[in-house]
A and B are shown apart, each in its own frame.
Chain A
Amino acid sequence: MRPFDYYRPETFEEAFRLLTLPDKRVMPLAGATDLIPMVRDEHWQPDVVVDVKGLPGMCDVVEMPEGLIVGAAVRMVELMHHPLVNSPRWNLLAQAAAAMGNEQVRNRATLGGNLCTASPAADSAPALLTLEAKAVIRGAAGERRVPITEFFLGPRKTALQKGELLIGVLIPAPPVGAVGTYVKLSRRKAGDLAIVGVAALAYPHDGGHVWCLALGAVAPTPIRASEAEAALNAGHDEATIEHATKCAFDACCPIDDIRASAEYRKAMVSRIARRAIEGVLAKLP
């Protein structure tokens, strides 16, 4: 492992100064569950590591008129147990947090880290996609908000520019009556990455329901399955569900890896999507 300098700034000014140090490879650090293994194996070789956990608001969960603001350094274990996240409105995120890693990992891993690593299999991503969250990004020039759908550009690629930090996620309150389910398929019951992850959310609207469906680990980024959503918005009888799962299947383009073949992943997308949809249906009044 290549040695690096470690800083824990307490102001954003100091953080941005460090992040833009000339001629230095600088990386932010939150829970370090991804960073340390990558640095240890020298896939990443930062000169400077900036711990963001001391920055104002990074570890806070606050309800604002526009929705819930979750600081980027809030840990998965906190999401699981936080009363606001666990409230009916945002409970889908708590489910996703509980599905991530294992007890030890969830005690360290943060929401911001999970998103910035930009793994297609990030468990929090499908939940945030269906909740139509926005990434709150801050740089020396100010703050900007990016819809989560535009945050992921590819495996390990995000919309963050050099010198910018993801400081949190803004999650609007879904309409009243919304219920959501996250279903994850993995080889083991805990401590494993998703083979397929599906988040589904539905809320009553105009006598029917509006559906949101997002898929993880089956494309270069987590994706919304908009055709499946459109199908479900029309109703959710068996034939429609079957059609929606077919749409989800068509939306994905998975790869082979050590965890599963593309063939198995494709087959599982429609099944896990069905489970997520059925999970939501069971919760709808």
Chain B
Amino acid sequence: MKEQTSNPVGKSVPRVDAFEKVTGAAKYVDDMAFGPTLLYGKIVHSPVAHALIKKIDASKALALPGVKAVVTGQDSPTLLGLYLKDRYIYAYDRVRYVGESVAGVVAISEEIAEQAAKLVEVEYELLPPVFDPYEGAKPDAPLLHPDLGKYEVVNFIFPEPGTNVSEHFRLRKGRVSDAGVSDEVWAQCATIVEDQYTLPQIQHAPIETHIAVAQWNPDGQVTLWAASQSPFAQRDLLAQSLGIPHGNMRVISPYIGGGFGGKAGISIEANVVLMAKAVPGHPVKVRMTREEEFVATNVRQSLVAKYKIGCDKDGNLLAMDLAYYFGGGAYNDYGVNIARAAGYSCTGPYDVPNVKGDSYCVYTNHPIGSAMRGFGMPEIHWGLEQIMDRLAEAIGMDAADFKRQNCVRQGDTILTGMTMPNVDLPQCIDKVKEAIGWGRVSKPSAPHKRRGKGLAIMWKAPAMPPNPGSSAIVRFNEDATLNVYVSGQEIGQGAFTVAAQMAAEALGIPYEWVRVSANPVDTKYSPYEWQTVASRLTWSMGNAVKAAAEHARGQILDIVAKYWGEDPADLDIKNGVVISYKSEREQSLKKMVVYGLPNENFEGWQGGPIVGSGKFMPTYVTGLDPNTGQGARAVVHYTVGAQAVDLEVDTDTGQIEVLKIASAYDVGKAINPDLVMTQIEGGAVHGLSSAFEGMFFDAQGRLRNPSFVDYKLATSLDAPREIHGDIVETPLEDGPWGARGVGEHVMVQTAPAIANALYNALGVRFNHLPLSAEKVYLATHEGEELTCKA
């Protein structure tokens, strides 16, 4: 305890988990030992994209020595899901994607389980597949979920039974009808851009693949150890689906090796719990191979987006007609809310008087589209942010000026009718313009190379139910060190560190005195947290931690005030010592926070062990009109930001080298500026990576690149040489110390910023992700004799 950092909020203190992780001491699920009774599970995946299951014969698998059980959909014909209960744990009567769980095999070793999985014989009757979300949304498309109308669904999601549309969000603002924006409005536009942009599914690719261990005891106590962003949500979903009392369902989640949204909600965990049910008392372990991770867990949804956007001659946006078709994959239990989020934020960060937006989540026979960093926003900004540049160019305006002129400002009535909370997007734009040298033309490094700069802005609100809650507990030890209990998951973003900073700040103790007791998060002992998603922890969990610390502080001040015979209002805690501004007396927190304080002459005692608790839940989000998307408050708040890219293109090969990415985000208050910067850096690389890779399927719906040989993530060598970050701080009304989240936002607009820079360099537009050297080459050498070189 050498360092004594007082008032750590706003300071770049070191991460609480740094040493543990760097030295390899940190424990993950696969490091945990379960003793000699441990069994191993393997999932049998569907080899076909869409088919009825005629028969499952597990007799050969069961006959293999070492095999303990085989479970199928017949063992649990109940539905599971976060917002829309649309999937069986194991396929029940049909399969809807290549990779779907059809059966689970439990054996005494991983090898035997794998061998037995191949012996499970499944007879399929093929059905016509649907792969394209736009085609899939048509009324005559083959139906994937004939029972859609019977599924249980939350009251803010609107499936369209009899179609493949699992969610349809309608936004109507200004002079629009279901047919579109009024012709009179279009007539006022000096220029209109109408175009389609698409992007494929992509994979989260966490270094740690999905892994879970489950044990179902004969007395009905069920425990799940999982690499999870959502231990409490998983407990709730499993309890509901399997009829387990919540108190008997325990989820334990240690550190996780990367989440990015892929470990939010529920994936293979339910499959493992059902395997465990078949072998009572035995823990059963399942870990996904990399190839399984690609197809059989979660991926980001694909998107087909149709835009028609117009502005007047002065560059004022007048109208947007938007249709977003999200390729939700086979099950949309989580994905429906991505389409909803894209619906209520469909304009991007722009103030537009007339908006018709329709956002659809569409079932397709591809892997399950679910939460991923950005949650719908990277998808819709891909086209939006390019079209803004095209409009600006058409009316002869600088793209950055165009965006600055039209962007949302605090106090604006935004598309849903909500008043825009405090943010400063123009300042973000100004910052990145300065950092990238906007308007200055840089010289390419070789004659066959071209330089280009591009800029894109973004917004994103936490996409959640209206009332996701957080809670926290603080507990003192004898030496006045403090344990903070939270259930937000440390997925690399620094959640534990900011929790410690906030607790120390609110209590008045040094940062180094705080220990975060959240590894593992254990639903049996840890306070409730909805999920580690939506960039909500710093804000929501932070408010709970602050409340818990203040609760404890109040108890301490009361005890000392009584002990001194003073008014608590005259006391404060500074650097772990209670002080009186009135009498100038001092009382160390050591010992007293557990043993209390003795009265004079030891005639009795004051106080006792200090435990503080706190909670936070937004209470002000309202419902939206299902026909217009209008309501008083659609979301809790928005985080906004801007990014600019400087790149160089090799015109001989089409190779793109991103030289610099400059970012500026309005985070309200940087609780830990270094951690904000690491988000900005990681987001820029993640965003860049997402611009250059995608999942490619064959005509039967089989993934062609389910490995890191063929699916190339950007590595440190591909990262820009320079990543610049600016932090803007416009305080959020209900954020702890004004803070709002920034975890996802940092990658939302990287791909369109790159595309805009490519246009600047080459004069060519790219509407379809991923970008590649080949695409750039073919687009810039169209019609040329292949060998000729000027």
Contact = CB atoms under 8 A, between A and B. Distances in A.
A267 B789 contact: no
B705 A187 contact: no
Given A187-B772, A193-B709, A258-B696, A267 B717 contact: no
A43 interface: no
A233 to B, nearest CB: 21
B369 to A, nearest CB: 21
B114 A1 contact: yes
Nearest to A242: B789
A1 B111 contact: yes
B53 interface: no
Interface string B629-662: 0000000000000000000000011010000000
Given A249-B786, A268-B653, A189 B781 contact: no
B715 A258 contact: no
A91 interface: no
A189 B786 contact: no
Contacts of A187: 692, 712, 772-773
Given A187-B773, A258-B705, A260-B774, A270 B787 contact: yes
Interface residues of A, number: 30
A73 B704 CA distance: 32
A185 interface: yes
Nearest to A190: B717
A257 to B, nearest CB: 9
A266 interface: yes
Contacts of B772: 187
Interface string A214-255: 000000000000000000000000000010011001000000
Contacts of A193: 709
A189 B789 contact: no
A263 B111 contact: no
A161 B715 CA distance: 40
A10 to B, nearest CB: 29
Interface string B608-644: 0000000000000000000000000000000000000
B147 interface: no
Contacts of A192: 712
Nearest to A246: B787
Interface string B108-124: 00010010000000000
B717 A271 contact: no
A26 B652 CA distance: 46
A83 to B, nearest CB: 26
A258 B704 contact: yes
A188 B712 contact: yes
A271 B652 contact: yes
B778 A264 contact: yes
Contacts of A270: 786-787, 789
Given A193-B709, A261-B774, A188 B717 contact: yes
A249 B655 CA distance: 20
Nearest to A3: B111
Interface string B277-299: 00000000000000100000000
Contacts of B781: 267
A267 B715 contact: no
Interface in A1-44: 1, 3, 37, 41
B655 to A, nearest CB: 8
Interface in B684-727: 692, 696, 704-705, 708-710, 712, 714-715, 717-718
Contacts of A191: 708, 712, 715
A259 B696 CA distance: 11
Choose among B111, B773, B774, B777 the residue with the greatest number of A CB atoms under 10 Å from its CB: B774
A192 B708 CA distance: 9
A87 interface: no
A188 B714 contact: yes
A107 interface: no
B714 A267 contact: no
Interface string A255-285: 0001111011011101110100000000000
Contacts of A272: 653
Contact of B715 (A1, A41, A102, A245): A102
A258 B710 contact: yes
Contact of B774 (A41, A190, A245, A264): A264
A41 to B, nearest CB: 8
A187 B114 CA distance: 34
Contacts of B111: 1, 3
Contacts of B704: 258
Nearest to A102: B715
Contacts of B777: 264, 267-268
A122 to B, nearest CB: 14
A211 B692 CA distance: 37
A249 B291 CA distance: 36
Nearest to B772: A187
Contacts of A261: 774
Given A193-B709, A242-B789, A270-B789, A188 B652 contact: no
A185 B653 contact: yes
Interface string A178-192: 000000010111111
Contacts of A268: 653, 777
B786 A267 contact: yes
A245 B789 CA distance: 10
Contacts of B774: 260-261, 264
Interface in B274-323: 291
B527 to A, nearest CB: 41
Contacts of B705: 258
B787 to A, nearest CB: 5
A227 to B, nearest CB: 14
Choose among B696, B704, B705, B773 the residue with the greatest number of A CB atoms under 10 Å from its CB: B773
A276 B710 CA distance: 26
A189 B787 contact: no
Interface string B746-779: 0000000000000000000000000011100110
Given A185-B653, A193-B709, A263 B696 contact: no
The 3 closest A-B pairs by CB, nearest first: A189-B717, A264-B774, A258-B710
Given A188-B712, A258-B705, 11 more contacts: A1-B111, A102-B715, A185-B655, A187-B772, A188-B717, A188-B718, A249-B787, A264-B774, A267-B777, A267-B781, A271-B652
17 contacts: A41-B291, A102-B715, A185-B773, A187-B773, A188-B718, A189-B715, A191-B708, A193-B709, A245-B787, A246-B787, A258-B696, A258-B705, A264-B777, A264-B778, A267-B781, A267-B786, A274-B789
